[in-house]
Amino acid sequence: MTYHQAHAQNAILTGQYKESVRTIVMRDGSIYNTHFTAIPFNAPNKPGALVTANFLLSFEAQYSKNDPANWGDFTVLDLNRLSREERELFKTLDLGQATLPVDVLAQHAVPEIRAEYLEALEKGWEEHVLRQ
């Protein structure tokens, strides 16, 4: 089990999971993974790091990342700020049979957990859920 919304579909595509596996949401809310890109203050090549960060936020990179055959991770882009054609590409991208629609997932999303709680949460999950 994971809090990555496309994990099941990724695992189906790689043969790890059976075709019948599906993504679920918890009644009281579900955690979704958020990714951050940072450039350290002492980065030896800040201009190159900025180019990389800008690329990671580009339509092309975000669309590729959203495809379950690549990663299946949702975009960080505001679809309302994209061109009509780009929005349509995101809306028609096949997320696979295991992934719930974006609007259903968004309705159940809760804010990212504060960093100081994450380690204890993961340890508790491993001890009390994964090993059961």
Spatial distance between the Cα atoms of 127 and 121, rounded to a whole number of angstroms? 10
Q: What is the pLDDT of residues 15-56, one digit of tens each?
A: 999 999 999 998 898 887 777 889 999 999 999 999 999 999
Whether the predicted pLDDT of 132 surpasses 80: no
Are the CB atoms for 29 and 108 separated by under 8 Å? Answer: yes
Instruction: Read off the pTM.
Output: 0.75
Alpha helices in 57-101 (DSSP H): 59-66, 84-92
Residue 130 contacts by C-beta under 8 Å, 6 or more apart in sequence? 1
